[in-house]
Amino acid sequence: MDADSDAVRHVFGVVLHHLRTEAGLSLRALAAQARYDHTRLSRAEHGEHLPAADWVKDIDTALHAGGLLTLLRSLAPAQPPPSKGRTALPLAGLRVDDDPSDSVTLQMCTPDGRTVQVKLSRRQLGELLATGLLRSALPAGVTDQDQADRVAKVIAEQYPVDTQVLGYFSRLLTEHFTADKMMGPRQLLGTTLAQIRVLDRLRRTSSPDSTEPLLRLLAQYAEFAGWLQQDLGDTTAARYWSDRATGWAQAAGDYTMVAYLMIRKSNIALLDNDPREVIELAAGARKVPGATHPRLHALAAQQQARGWALYGDATRFQRQIDDAATLLREHPADYDPAAPVYLHQYSLDVLQEQSAGGYRACGQAAAAVRILEDKIKATGEHLRRDQGHLLAKLANTVLAVKEPEPDRAIALGLRSATAAAFTGSARIGTELRTLDTVLATRFPTTPGRLELHEAVLALG
């Protein structure tokens, strides 16, 4: 058998054993239900045999596997032919395990939404990389045999990290930022932390005089992990990863990232309703030596504005918003590929959307409604996390205008609750809990209020 068949048989066998054990079935009991020979099932679980596709469908049905075993069987090289391409493994993430066996864990999704964890050796991971079966876990950079081999060998620590591998992880992080808008933190955190562990292992095995590019990349990954934890509502973990990111950025001399992380910590302070810390950290970001990127200074000004709105000073809020807008208008095309990913997409449009909460806090709810309505129209339905957050903010804002609209707020809240349940975004959940409280206090008899209350309670 070739390496492709070996890899598929092994993964199929491990998943089959996991599902059978989870179902509480013996080999003979499963064989009876699937009308298949129990000795062949045993060989299949040990990676020695791959049942024919028709039999796999019966086994899949008997185990209520939701099509996962059928999908895995289809990955065998002869089915379909290589010329027609091959389906990738249905992965939710990849984790490098810190144990004596030096293994990795693949987190696999069944079509019906469950997760199955499969342990592999580094050698088997390399085989899967080389055969192309990990394309869904490595979507951004591994596009040919040479790159697959390179990443596999680096993960297995067979030779030092190089620029192509760093480029791969950098592109993957960019893909994560895009995916975050659609899927939210719950779907991405495990994968992101696993990739940080891989990068940190590379750092620990590299010469100290060659790690600066790796430190810069680690800082970016850790910053993103902090953001995901913040979106999940865990401010302690968010600060932890922001602090780790700051240490790596300082070690690399990346002062733009150091300043950006002060803004991130200012943003975390918003969740704790601490306007002084919000303002102080954002102002400090503008004083970091060497951090001169205009968009960074604009973002810091925006964050100061949000702090002043929380503090209750509408005049200083507007002054800082105007300062940020001026910087963005005067430097619309400034682009630094080494800057934090968020700065690449920061624009006047983003500034306007971020200012909506400040206008609401300063008693200008009508202006906030217009901003949020325009932003929702411009945000695709596929960006589920972003859509859900905007809808929740608008729901609260239409209750803050002179003529409140509780019916509309409930309709918006129910749409947002669906996104909150899928993404795990605590920011959406916080807005919805505020909405639920206001409705219960001011509009308790509005039709649909109890339905929204149940939806909010279900979020936990």
Residues 341-384 have pLDDT tens digits of 888 889 999 999 989 999 999 999 999 999 999 999 999 888 88
Read off the pLDDT of each residue in 185-213 and give the average, rounded to a whole number.
Answer: 84
pTM flag (> 0.75) = no
Kindly provide the b/e burial profile for residues 94-118, where b requires at least 16 CB atoms within 10 angstroms of the residue's own CB: bbbeeeeeebbbbbbbbeeeeebeb
Confidence of residue 99 (pLDDT cuts 50, 70, 90): low
User: According to the per-residue pLDDT averaged within each range, which of 139-143, 151-155, 203-207, 449-453 is highest?
Assistant: 449-453
Written as six digits, the tokens of 204 are 């620990």
Classify the phi-psi angles of 47: left when phi > 0, otherwise alpha if psi is within -120 to 50, otherwise beta.
left
Alpha helices in 184-287 (DSSP H): 185-204, 212-231, 235-252, 255-271, 275-285
Tens of pLDDT, residue by residue over 31-54, are: 888 888 888 898 888 878 888 888
Mean pLDDT of 75-103: 52
Does residue 425 contact residue 385 with C-beta atoms inside 8 Å? yes
**Two tokens, residue 111:** 């079509």
3-state DSSP assignment of residue 97: coil
Distance (Å) of CA 234 to CA 58, 237, 241, 284, 318: 44, 6, 11, 24, 30
- For range 285-297, the mean pLDDT: 90
Q: Is 92 helix (H, G, I), strand (E, B) or coil?
A: strand
| Contact of 188 with 176, CB cutoff 8 Å | yes
Per-residue pLDDT tens for 125-139?
Answer: 655 555 555 544 443
Residue partners of 237: CB distance under 8 A and separation at least 6: 226, 229
